[in-house]
Chains A and B, each alone.
Chain A
Amino acid sequence: MAIFSFLFSKHLDKSILVISIVVSVLLLGLEEDSKMTTVRVVSSFLLAPVEKMEKNFIDIARLQQENDKLREIVAALYYERGKLLQFESEKKRMRKLLNFRMDSYYRFLPCEVISMSSNRFYHSVTIDRGSGDGVVRGMPVSGYRGIAGRVTQVFPSSARVLLISNKSLPVSCRDGRSRVVGILKWDRGNLFTLDYVGSEEDVMVGDTLLTSGLGKVFPRGFQVGVVYQAKKVEGRISKNVRVVSMVDLGRLEELFVIMSGEKWDYREIMRELEELKSDAE
């Protein structure tokens, strides 16, 4: 204690000088590798703020590049949107001339899966929206990429959705390219077979299947799956068509209840888009 008092109270300046000399000599006596490591560690510590600043500048440059790219995409999309609007009004006029029913557009009610069926062969999920949100029995349900199932039971704040992998829910599909119609039936996992397709009918690997709208179980035009195998079987009148679903039915988290179709009103959609835009801003 007396030594400490002597060193660090009475002769603090000399003690500090001796300590710094000893440390310097120790540093000088270090192996070359240890010196390099020490320099690297200290330099990286001292230069960390500079590197961070440099990284921020790089990020800004990257964001500017990304922004430029996005501007290009937006410009292209605006052009495309303009063209689509023209097509839309043209199609509307044609349908009117031919006395077709007017197209519908759908409202999507987002919901989350709150439970999955305990019975692995029952293939259903429960969602967190119910009659209180306007969900009605029979409403189709889709995932981000395509049809997932159909509401079969409705409770005040939840609903049960029977998935398309349930054997009792066959889906009438149409080949997006050749317009061939078949019935989709679950095989295993996310794999299905497309039944009732004649052996001479034009179904190819890579074709996208859409809901046909026949029977009014599912609305028309929603993606269901992609054909990954299509081959003729010797001696059979139907083709063996295998399909993988668009939606991963084993990992459903967010779904959309497709509310009843409404008449396509361009102005209303634009108003909704404007609202969304102003909300985002």
Chain B
Amino acid sequence: MKENIFYIVRIFFVSIVAFILQITVVNGRWPGGGSPDLLFVIVLLLVLDKGPVTAVVVGFLLGFFQDLGNASFLGMNALANSIVAYAVSRLGRDYLPDTIIFRISLFFMAYLVKSIIILNITEAFSPIRVISFFFRYSFLSALYTAVIAIFVWKLIELVSERVVRPGGGY
């Protein structure tokens, strides 16, 4: 029980830090127009070693937290994160091998899926606009997000000397 509370508090603080970094430092300083999504990185790293239930809950809550910054699309990130977190948890735990190449592909694809969901909502399912934005921004953003996710993943491994393994546990 105590560990769970610490875990939630830790997620909360890490999310706040990521959110602050996202809106102050990260947004709009990357070549090509795209930018990494730090809160999504947190979601990906958190759900990798968790079951799908935890993954969906964490994805929904952090997405909802992200949505608080943009009331017009309240629920958008929550929806996208829930679906993607569920998929990442399932694929990462059960199907994909634990190597950097597969991992970076997983993160990259995860961001693209999230991006498609979000673009469809923000552009009201207009195919031309969705495709246009998708190719203009999403690819680069997905690449940045995947690279940062891998970097943070390895950093956590180094710092804590624990390996985040698919299939649960450290």
Choose among A12, A13, A21, A30 the residue that contacts B79 (Cβ–Cβ < 8 A).
A21
Knowing A13-B53, A17-B82, A17-B83, the reply to whether A23 touches B71 (Cβ < 8 A) is no
Which B residue sits closest to A26, measured CB to CB? B75
Kindly list chain A residues whose C-beta atoms are within 8 Å of the C-beta of B83: 17, 21
Kindly list chain A residues whose C-beta atoms are within 8 Å of the C-beta of B73: 28
Interface 0/1 of B66-104, CB less than 8 Å to A: 011001111110110011001000000000000000000
CB of B74 within 8 A of CB of A35, answer yes
Kindly list chain B residues whose C-beta atoms are within 8 Å of the C-beta of A21: 79, 82-83
Instruction: Please indicate which of the listed interface residues A24, A30, A46 has the most CB atoms of chain B within 10 Å of its own CB.
Output: A24
A16 at the binding interface (Cβ < 8 Å): yes
A48 at the binding interface (Cβ < 8 Å): no
Which A residue sits closest to B82, measured CB to CB? A20
Kindly list chain A residues whose C-beta atoms are within 8 Å of the C-beta of B167: none
CB of B121 within 8 A of CB of A28, answer yes
Which A residue sits closest to B77, measured CB to CB? A24
* Complex alpha-carbon distance, A20 and B65, angstroms: 14
CB of B51 within 8 A of CB of A24, answer no
Kindly list chain B residues whose C-beta atoms are within 8 Å of the C-beta of A30: 74-75
Interface 0/1 of A12-45, CB less than 8 Å to B: 1100110011011111101010011011001100
CB distance from A175 to the nearest CB of B (A): 69
Knowing A32-B72, A35-B71, A43-B68, the reply to whether A24 touches B78 (Cβ < 8 A) is yes
CB of B82 within 8 A of CB of A35, answer no
Which A residue sits closest to B78, measured CB to CB? A24
Kindly list chain B residues whose C-beta atoms are within 8 Å of the C-beta of A35: 71-72, 74
Choose among B72, B74, B82, B86 the residue that contacts A38 (Cβ–Cβ < 8 A).
B74
CB of B86 within 8 A of CB of A13, answer yes
CB of B78 within 8 A of CB of A16, answer no
Kindly list chain A residues whose C-beta atoms are within 8 Å of the C-beta of B111: none
B60 at the binding interface (Cβ < 8 Å): yes
Knowing A13-B52, A13-B53, A43-B68, the reply to whether A20 touches B60 (Cβ < 8 A) is yes
Which B residue sits closest to A38, measured CB to CB? B74
CB of B52 within 8 A of CB of A24, answer no
Kindly list chain A residues whose C-beta atoms are within 8 Å of the C-beta of B59: 20
* Complex alpha-carbon distance, A28 and B77, angstroms: 10
B56 at the binding interface (Cβ < 8 Å): yes
Which A residue sits closest to B60, measured CB to CB? A20
* Complex alpha-carbon distance, A43 and B57, angstroms: 19
Instruction: Please indicate which of the listed interface residues B53, B59, B74, B82 has the most CB atoms of chain A within 10 Å of its own CB.
Output: B74
CB of A28 within 8 A of CB of B82, answer no
Knowing A23-B60, A39-B68, the reply to whether A17 touches B52 (Cβ < 8 A) is yes
* Complex alpha-carbon distance, A8 and B68, angstroms: 29
CB of B68 within 8 A of CB of A42, answer yes
| Chain B 128-146 interface residues, beta-carbon cutoff 8 Å to A | none
Kindly list chain A residues whose C-beta atoms are within 8 Å of the C-beta of B65: 46
Which B residue sits closest to A40, measured CB to CB? B71
CB of A23 within 8 A of CB of B75, answer yes
What would be 12 A-B contacts, judged by CB atoms less than 8 Å apart? A16-B53, A17-B52, A17-B83, A17-B86, A20-B56, A20-B57, A20-B60, A25-B75, A26-B75, A28-B73, A30-B75, A32-B72
Task: List 6 A-B pairs, minimum CB-CB distance, nearest first.
Answer: A27-B75, A24-B79, A13-B52, A20-B82, A28-B75, A24-B75
